[in-house]
């Protein structure tokens, strides 16, 4: 089983179903006062500003993730989720790898993200992918359930040293 990861509109039927499953999952782990609304808008994932990805196994949508460009050269990882039935099978890592590739194409030099302290699976994925804890920013700064992380991206090299 090799996951296939592709970009698609955040408001496609498959994307909406995956995001609804993510929201349901988060509502089980965090009380309403400690949850952040989905602060990702369609225009933030359109050409040149970010991307929304869907991971599929045997044609079935089982995971998703997005990046959006922030100020400076940072790209924020958003809305990562994988169906629990296929966790541990490389879907999340495939989505995260593709998000990193897309961030590089957009000119980002660092990935940042916020995840919840109770999302141990996600924290393990991010740490094993080179992310390190950083001070939380913006709306996450005062949250007792937020863990913020960052990872520098390698520079793209041009053929012939350019």
* pLDDT tens, position by position, 43-72: 778 878 899 999 999 999 999 999 999 877
- Three-state DSSP at 81 gives strand
Domains of the chain: 4-161 (3.40.630.30)
| Mean pLDDT to the nearest integer, 29-42 | 63
Give pLDDT, residue 109. Answer: 95
- Three-state DSSP at 61 gives strand
CA-closest candidate to residue 122, choices 62, 80, 64, 153? 80
Chain centroid to CA 81: how far? 8
Give the mean pLDDT of the chain: 88
Alpha carbons 119 and 116: distance in angstroms, whole number: 5
CB atoms within 10 A of CB 98: 19
Confidence band (pLDDT; 50, 70, 90) for 26?
confident
Element (H, E) at 135: none
| Mean pLDDT to the nearest integer, 78-107 | 94
Burial 2-26 (b: 16+ CB within 10 A, else e): ebebeebebeeeebeebbebbeeeb
Residue 38 scores a pLDDT above 70: no
Confidence band (pLDDT; 50, 70, 90) for 157?
low
CA-closest candidate to residue 97, choices 55, 145, 34? 55
Give pLDDT, residue 162. Answer: 47
Residues 81 and 25 sit within 8 Å (Cβ to Cβ): yes
Higher pLDDT, 105 or 46: 105
Give pLDDT, residue 50. Answer: 94
> Within 13 Å and on the Cβ side, how many CA atoms surround 103?
30
Give pLDDT, residue 37. Answer: 53
């Amino acid at each position: 089983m090799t996951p296939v990861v592709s970009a698609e509109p955040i408001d496609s039927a498959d994307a909406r179903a995956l995001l609804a499953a993510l929201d349901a999952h988060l509502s089980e782990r965090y009380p309403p006062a400690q949850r952040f609304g989905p602060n990702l808008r369609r225009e933030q994932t359109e050409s040149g500003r970010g991307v929304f990805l869907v991971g599929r196994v045997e044609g079935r949508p089982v995971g998703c993730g997005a990046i959006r460009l922030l100020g400076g050269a940072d790209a924020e990882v958003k809305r990562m989720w994988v169906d629990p039935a296929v966790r541990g099978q490389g879907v999340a890592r495939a989505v995260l790898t593709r998000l990193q590739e897309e961030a590089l194409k957009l000119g980002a030099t660092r990935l940042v993200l916020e995840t919840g302290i109770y999302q141990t699976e996600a924290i393990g994925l991010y740490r094993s992918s080179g992310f390190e804890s950083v001070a939380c920013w913006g709306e996450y700064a005062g949250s007792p359930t937020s863990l913020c992380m960052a990872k520098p991206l390698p520079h793209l090299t041009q053929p012939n040293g350019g």
